[in-house]
Amino acid sequence: MRFTTGLEFDISVPNWQVRGHSMRLLPHVLEDWFYRPPPALAFGETPDDGEGSEIASKRQVGLAIGRTEPFKILFIKFDAVGIAYRFSDQCKGIRLYLNSVF
């Protein structure tokens, strides 16, 4: 199971326009906590005590750019394009995403 908390900001940049629409910056930070499911829902190994326990957490810091009017490429419509750096004790990586993280 996953529990996510985070903050995302919406910063208007009126002097930066693309095709006549004002742009905005959407920086964010978030953290995901992962837990083992209870034994009744678990697939594979579970702890001996039968209780759910924390597996790990991952953090993410990212920035998206968007505009007041959504982008449209062919038939795909999206509000923003972003890149984020995800990291934990076990792994690191870059994440590309469309729209807001929330």
Residues 30-42 pLDDT 10s: 998 887 755 655 5
Is the full-model pTM beyond 0.75? no
Distances (CA, A) of 26 to 59, 80, 85: 17, 8, 14
- pLDDT for 51 equals 54
**Average pLDDT of span 35-53:** 57
The string of pLDDT tens digits covering residues 72-89 is 888 888 888 999 999 988
Under 8 Å between Cβ of 19 and 45: no
Alpha-carbon distance 97 to 26, whole Å? 12
Under 8 Å between Cβ of 58 and 32: yes
Under 8 Å between Cβ of 10 and 26: yes
Higher local confidence (pLDDT), 36 or 13: 13
Q: What values do phi and psi take at 16, rounded to 5?
A: -105, 110
